[in-house]
Chains A and B, each alone.
Chain A
Amino acid sequence: MREVGVVAFAQSDCLAANRGDDMADILAPVIAEAVASLGIERSDIDFFCSGSHDFHEGRTFAYIESLDSVGAWPPISESHVEMDAAWAVNEAWSWLQLGEGDVALVYGIGRGSLATDPDQVSHTLLDPYYLAPLHPHRHAIAGLQAQALLAAGVTTEAALAQVVARSLAAALGNPHAQRSGSHAVHDLLAQPYVASPLRAHDAAPLGDAAAVLVLAAGDRARELAARAGRRPAWIRAMDHRMATHYPGSRDLTRLETVEVAAQRATRMAGFAPADVDVAELHTEYSHAEPMLVQALGLPVGTTLNPSGGPLAGNPTTATGLIRLGEAADRIADGSARRALAHATSGPALQHNMVSLLEGEE
């Protein structure tokens, strides 16, 4: 395997709604910041890869607008995934592993705020025969999963409130966070349910932001990271697994896909999730954290979502990418030697990716 690592990461502030900028305007300064930090031109980038959803834009090929901030002339090598841009990182990482080039830029642009009623959009992402026609409540499948976890004794409502309180307190130190604050658990538990046992704060807030990550290979990565005054965060392993989509077809209390992806990533990296200092987890709901901790085998003492995680900011389809960027930044700033980044896609954590990152010895 080639050594491939993160050499730059930039993100815009997570806003509940950005009505002043279009997609290209949100993205352009973030790309400029990431590229400028490396002292290179956009023409020095061999591959561009992005992730976004048409659903929230309400039109096909919505992401084309974002290419205005990439500058696609003369023609560039470019690709896109119709899902969280964490999977665009996976594509770019694979592309670099194949020796197609040395530098790749990945971006995620999310504008979850565009829909006046997110409930009218969320069900269109589901199976068209058995689920979408019922237009379930936006949080229905997550609510079922949380209730099943409580019934199985995996977590409690108080523990979920503690996850929220810790995340929002951590987000006080994150200038990009959309939500942050000091909250007492008993105050959180006094809030009404939106889909029992979930309350509004148990769900990551939809919002608008962009994130950009630059990957580079081998000595080119060392050279670029040195220019940026940071350490490369080597991605030692990436693996993703998908379960069946129908929520009645699988045990919602167990994340077998995470277990398998973690085992495969461990073999590839030569170290396990239990060996990391920091884990950035794609928790679209508070109840995902205890499930992921269990499936990944993270010991007590692992720092979870020091950025505040998705409960503090959730720009649709950039959220998983931000987990990779935040994990890389913890290695770059020396607060972690090894880090894990998790990303998820689909209802009730259907599809999961585990990435293991490591700094230089």
Chain B
Amino acid sequence: MSTSLTAPYTTAFDFERTVGPRIGVFLAGLRERRLLGVRGSRGRVLCPVAEFDPVTAEATGDYVELDPVGTVTAWTWVDPRPADPLDSPFAWALVRIDGADDSFFHRVDTGGDPSLLSSGLRVRVRWAAETVGSIEDIVCFEPVTDDEPSGSAPSGSAP
């Protein structure tokens, strides 16, 4: 059986992308290594910042500065692939940031040990060496060690 012609291609989005007004503020915050949430409907705090409340579709309101610390609510353990910034196996997880009412989707690095992961694991943000105003300014979350102090920003204060 003959085979059809094939040619290699690479998928890419090589354009500047315009961000929304609130997502832009959130990403600019990451560039300064600050984690912002936003008030949605009925006072719920959303982190990462959304332009519109996911339940009511109303425009979101004021920003809230949050500690870059939270709790794992769900996870899945995977092997790293060439494009991933981590070399050992890690988790994709939902992390509920302290003071937020929804969850943040990102990586959790436990040094390749899946037994450390559980619902309720306390984690903090690991910032990139160089921040540019992108979700990738957060490399991953990592477990909070017992002897480290909490974050410096008072939860719930205006930025």
Contacts from A to B (Cβ < 8 Å): 19-22, 55, 58, 116, 119-121, 124, 128-131, 133-137, 139-148, 151, 193-198, 244, 246-250, 252
Contacts and interface: CB of A to CB of B under 8 A. Distances in A.
8 smallest A-B Cβ distances: which pairs? A143-B76, A248-B103, A244-B54, A140-B92, A249-B54, A148-B74, A196-B77, A19-B3
B127 interface: no
Contacts of A140: 76, 78, 92
A329 to B, nearest CB: 29
B93 A144 contact: yes
19 contacts: A19-B3, A20-B2, A124-B13, A130-B48, A136-B105, A139-B76, A140-B92, A143-B77, A144-B93, A145-B74, A146-B76, A195-B76, A195-B92, A196-B77, A244-B54, A246-B105, A249-B50, A249-B103, A252-B74
Contacts of B48: 130, 248
A130 B105 contact: yes
A197 B91 CA distance: 12
Interface in B57-81: 73-78, 81
Interface of B: 1-4, 6, 8-11, 13, 17, 19, 23, 27, 46, 48, 50, 54-55, 73-78, 81, 83-84, 92-94, 102-107, 114, 119, 134-136
Nearest to A253: B74
A21 B10 CA distance: 22
A141 B91 CA distance: 11
A250 B94 CA distance: 11
Contact of B50 (A133, A194, A246, A250): A246
Q: Identify the interface centre among A142, A145, A249, A252: most chain B CB within 10 Å of its CB.
A: A249
B145 to A, nearest CB: 24
A306 B57 CA distance: 39
B29 to A, nearest CB: 13
Contacts, number: 110
Contacts of B135: 129-130, 133-134
Nearest to B106: A134
B83 A249 contact: no
Nearest to A58: B9
Contacts of B74: 144-145, 147-148, 151, 252
Nearest to B84: A135
Contact of B75 (A19, A22, A142, A147): A147
Contacts of A144: 74-76, 92-94, 105
B83 A136 contact: no
A139 B75 CA distance: 12
A97 to B, nearest CB: 27
A51 to B, nearest CB: 21
Nearest to A19: B3
Contacts of A19: 3-4, 6
A68 to B, nearest CB: 14
Contact of B92 (A116, A137, A249): A137
A247 B11 contact: no
Given A143-B78, A144-B92, A244-B54, 10 more contacts: A22-B4, A116-B8, A124-B11, A133-B136, A148-B74, A195-B92, A246-B54, A247-B105, A248-B105, A252-B74
Contacts of B10: 120
B3 A20 contact: yes
Contacts of A147: 74-76
A248 B46 CA distance: 10
A46 B59 CA distance: 43
B11 A129 contact: no
